[in-house]
Structure 1
């Protein structure tokens, strides 16, 4: 088994594909939680899903062209996701009297405001972002933060470890 794992690490395309599928699978799991579990996503949750899609897309590029660019794109996506999850956890830790008021939904914001203003409004948070939904005892933003850290570290490692053929 250990020999199999070591062999896979030498094939960055396979590892990139696996991590990309994990990212897309997590977004799928979030959609199941929404549809079946009735957990409506707040705007920060939607942005965290977008970060997973961005990382997965970068890693799909890495299936064909592994290397530093894929490592950098994955690291940027993971850093953005960590920042979003961190902000989400901070909002959830606020006392009830300091939680921002609930605002309009993300669909409305995107339809009415320029995207730069939408991003600013989402990052400032709203009341629904302070609600804590748990999976296996941990809040969802904590799970995502941990996953961004692992996925980002693996993606950077595997794509920086790519051996380039020597040029004569």
Structure 2
């Protein structure tokens, strides 16, 4: 049933993924500005990946052309994969924190003061902020839940792509 819905309404699926990403971003803003949790450098990178997934999925949902939505779904899968990688790295750092915890620079301080070739490894190395767990839901941290969301978004778009590459049912009926 779900696969039929994906086949019949890929634009709606992409719009739903985009809306879910926007809801997650809004929740992140709530946690930051109302609850008072400061995002670490890896959290900010995950936000950018989430924005990428939202934008790519929204763009894919704009037109009914199969090539159009498939192209944007490929970009969405790439953004979701990158976000899942960053979230998995942060989850790993939270489960196995480094022996020497430093609070390091913030994301913008790294980008402004170092060349990009030096700033990117610093971000993924993680800081003391990245190992801290400020909020949990059902035993999982924000990084754990974000990882699951990125994997779910990526898998749904991947299923859409694989099923979209199959010849349409009209073509199969004509060939038979």
TM-score range, shorter chain: 0.7 to 0.9
Q: Structure 1 CA distance, aligned partners of 2:162 and 2:142? A: 30
SS where residue 87 of structure 1 aligns? helix
Please list the CA deviations of residues 61-115 of structure 1 after superposition, one character each: whole Å capped at 9, or x if unmatched: 2112211x223212211111111011101111225x6144111111222221223
Pair 1:50–1:19, CA change in 2 (3 A): same
Q: Which residue of structure 2 aligns with residue 131 of structure 1?
A: 132
Higher relative contact order (CA 8 A, sep 6+): 1
**C-alpha contact 1:92 1:129 (8 A) present in aligned 2:** yes
Aligned positions of 1:6-17 closer than 5 A: 6-7=4-5, 9-17=7-15
- Aligned pair count? 162
Q: Gapped runs of 5+ residues in structure 2? A: 172-176
**C-alpha contact 2:60 2:69 (8 A) present in aligned 1:** yes
Q: In the TM superposition, what is the alpha-carbon distance from 1:6 to its structure 2 partner? A: 4.5
Q: Structure 2 CA distance, aligned partners of 1:7 and 1:79? A: 23
Q: Given the two structures, how large is their TM-score scaled by the length of structure 1?
A: 0.85
CA RMSD, aligned part only?
A: 2.2
Q: Given the two structures, how large is their TM-score scaled by the length of structure 2?
A: 0.82
Q: Which residue of structure 2 aligns with residue 156 of structure 1?
A: 158
